[in-house]
């Protein structure tokens, strides 16, 4: 009996994290609609580019930034360098006469610590953060700041678009489409629970309690909610960046992302209090924490299924299904057959959950990510 309870509860956790939560959001969106009021406003903006050893990309990024359509007298551009040891800083200095400011950390501070230096030096009412690897369309700033006409909006997330080696838009994959779908529903119902770190905007007032050791995009969203505002997705604000072609590098990026997220949740666990933060606490629990607990649910479901397989045909059948699924995932991760969508999806699902499990192991060992290396794309 005990194994049966563990099995079905474990399956329930996995199902709720990926299907139950979106289904409930979809149902709520039918009667709970919080549309964003937008207008073509032009507040003062500081555009912050965080960089560490970006000599290969910083020129392209700055040229792209300076071509963005926004009143020059209202736009401040800052490059925050995390004590870069290559030619990044010298290359940025060549743009000084075009209004670009360099803020250099004297010692390595990590991404958030370097961003904190930039935040303290900013003048704009709206701060826009963007990675050196992200290329933006001409109307990017106008689109994203238009959301701040709505006084309930504290921060705004962009949508990600992936580029291949030739610079063409490549397929996003089912997972990214799924995440964007969730963000659309979350914006409609209440608030996002995370921002795209490659390109997001925030009110200056929200940035005042800046933490130099917590994932800035996630923590900024939580700061907005704790300030009585919300985070929203702007589907017209798009950031383009190249896919990581190195699978090992992409895996380690996933581990770092989850590990940094766990650090934020641990520090800001009070945000899970539904009596104080209402529906947002449920969203945070469902979208983030439940998703990060899925690996444990998968392990428990498999082990309990092993114990039950000899007791009833239904459990023998579910064990066979699990073995087939994981077998397909293994094949997908080691063979070119992964190009087939269903195999690729199974392989990606398992790889993501293995990376989450590794992040938990590192978290419990006391590992934290502060220093960073830019991902070569």
Q: What is the pLDDT of residues 226-282, one digit of tens each?
A: 999 999 999 999 988 766 556 677 788 889 999 999 999 999 999 999 999 999 999
Q: CA 161 to CA 188: how far, in whole Å?
A: 22
Is residue 234 a contact partner of residue 144, using CB atoms and an 8 Å limit?
yes
Q: Which of 15-29, 165-179, 362-376 has the lowest mean pLDDT?
A: 165-179
pLDDT at 332 over 60: yes
Stretch 337-347: mean pLDDT? 69
Q: How far from the centroid of its chain's Cα atoms is residue 306's Cα?
A: 35
Is residue 198 a contact partner of residue 133, using CB atoms and an 8 Å limit?
yes
pLDDT band at 184 (very low <50, low <70, confident <90, very high): very high
158-197 b/e with 16+ CB inside 10 Å = b?
bbbbbbeeeeeeeebeeeeeebbebbbbbbbbbbbbbbbb
Q: CA 29 to CA 34: how far, in whole Å?
A: 9
Running DSSP on this structure, what letter comes out for residue 150?
Answer: S
Stretch 73-80: mean pLDDT? 96
Q: How far from the centroid of its chain's Cα atoms is residue 234's Cα?
A: 15
What integer best gives the mean pLDDT of the chain?
89
Q: CA 62 to CA 64: how far, in whole Å?
A: 5
Please name which of 102, 153, 101, 105 lies closest in space to residue 126, comparing C-alpha atoms: 153
pLDDT band at 338 (very low <50, low <70, confident <90, very high): very low
Q: Which helix (H) or strand (E) holds 50?
A: strand 45-51
CB neighbour class for 252 (10 Å; exposed up to 12, middle 13-18, buried from 19) = middle
Q: CA 173 to CA 100: how far, in whole Å?
A: 36
pLDDT at residue 1, as a whole number: 76
Kindly tell me the number of DSSP H helices and DSSP E strands found in the chain: 14, 7
Q: CA 224 to CA 258: how far, in whole Å?
A: 21
Token pair listed for 300: 């428990």
Neighbours of 19 (CB within 10 A): 10
- φ/ψ of 213, rounded to 5, equals -130, 15
The pLDDT tens digits for 123-149 are 999 999 999 989 999 999 999 999 999
Domains and CATH numbers, the chain: 2-19+276-364 (no CATH), 45-243 (3.90.550.10)
Is residue 52 a contact partner of residue 374, using CB atoms and an 8 Å limit?
yes
- Express as a percent the part of the chain with pLDDT over 70: 91
Q: CA 244 to CA 240: how far, in whole Å?
A: 13
pLDDT at 170 over 50: no
Token pair listed for 23: 């289904």
């Amino acid at each position: 009996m005990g194994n049966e309870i563990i099995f079905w509860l474990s399956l329930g956790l996995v199902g709720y994290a990926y299907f139950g939560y979106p289904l409930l959001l979809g149902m709520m969106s039918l009667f709970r609609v919080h549309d964003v009021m937008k207008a073509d406003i032009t507040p003062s903006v500081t555009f912050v580019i965080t960089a560490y050893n970006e000599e290969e990309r910083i020129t392209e990024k700055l040229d792209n930034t300076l071509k963005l359509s926004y009143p020059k007298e209202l736009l401040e551009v800052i490059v925050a360098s995390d004590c870069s040891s290559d030619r990044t800083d010298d290359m940025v200095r060549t743009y000084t006469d075009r209004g670009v400011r360099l803020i250099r950390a004297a010692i390595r501070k990590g991404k958030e610590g370097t961003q904190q230096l930039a935040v303290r030096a900013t003048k704009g009412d709206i701060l826009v953060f963007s990675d050196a690897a992200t290329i933006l369309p001409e109307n990017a700033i106008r689109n994203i700041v238009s959301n701040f006409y709505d006084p309930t909006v504290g921060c705004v997330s962009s949508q990600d678009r992936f580029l291949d080696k030739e610079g063409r838009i490549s397929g996003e994959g089912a997972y990214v489409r799924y995440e964007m779908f969730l963000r659309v529903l979350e914006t409609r119902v209440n608030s996002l629970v995370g921002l795209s770190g490659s390109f997001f905007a925030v009110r200056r007032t929200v940035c005042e309690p800046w933490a130099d050791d917590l994932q800035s995009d996630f923590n900024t969203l939580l700061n907005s909610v704790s300030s009585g505002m919300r985070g929203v997705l702007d589907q017209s604000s798009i950031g383009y960046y190249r896919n990581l072609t190195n699978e090992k590098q992409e895996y380690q990026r996933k581990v770092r992302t989850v590990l940094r997220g766990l650090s934020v949740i641990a520090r800001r666990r009070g945000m899970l209090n539904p009596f104080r933060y209402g529906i947002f606490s449920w969203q945070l629990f469902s979208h983030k924490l439940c998703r990060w607990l899925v690996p444990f649910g998968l392990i428990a479901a498999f082990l309990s299924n092993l114990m039950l397989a000899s007791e009833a045909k239904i459990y023998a059948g579910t064990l066979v299904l699990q073995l087939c699924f994981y077998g397909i995932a293994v094949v997908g991760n080691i063979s070119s057959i992964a190009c087939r969508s269903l195999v690729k999806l199974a392989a990606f699902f398992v790889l993501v959950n293995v990376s989450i499990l590794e992040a938990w192991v590192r978290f419990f060992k006391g590992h934290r990510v502060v220093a960073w290396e830019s991902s070569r794309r």
